[in-house]
Amino acid sequence: MPDRFVKDPSALLDYTWDWSGWLDAVADTISTATVAVPAGLTAVGAPVVDEAAVTQRISGGSLGGAYTVVCQIITAGGLIDERSIYLTIANR
């Protein structure tokens, strides 16, 4: 799963964290998910959990800006993990 993306400042896009490999290895499932979006970006709606993936729709960003978006999950078994994606804002 790529973790670096270029986003146009006017784009409204979905970004997905795929936890399937890790969840299979620990024989667990996602119970809850949160996505931390830094100032300058906007999370549109709540994150969507679809089995072993979490998707968040994101808008905004300042031209030339670089942002880190963090997804945290808590599993049914009580494990907690985080993964980050990195967005660079450029005209596309």
Q: How far apart are CA 7 and CA 65, in angstroms?
A: 10
Supply the pLDDT for residue 1. 64
Q: Where are the alpha helices (DSSP H) in 1-92?
A: 20-26
- In angstroms, the Cα distances linking 12 to 37, 61, 65, 71 are 14, 10, 16, 18
pTM (two decimals): 0.94
How many residues in total does the chain contain? 92
Structural element, H or E, at residue 17: strand 12-18
Per residue in 5-46, pLDDT (tens digit) is 999 999 999 999 999 999 999 999 999 999 999 999 999 999
Report all structural domains of the chain as residue ranges with CATH numbers, in order of start.
4-89 (2.60.40.10)
Structure letter (DSSP) for residue 42: E
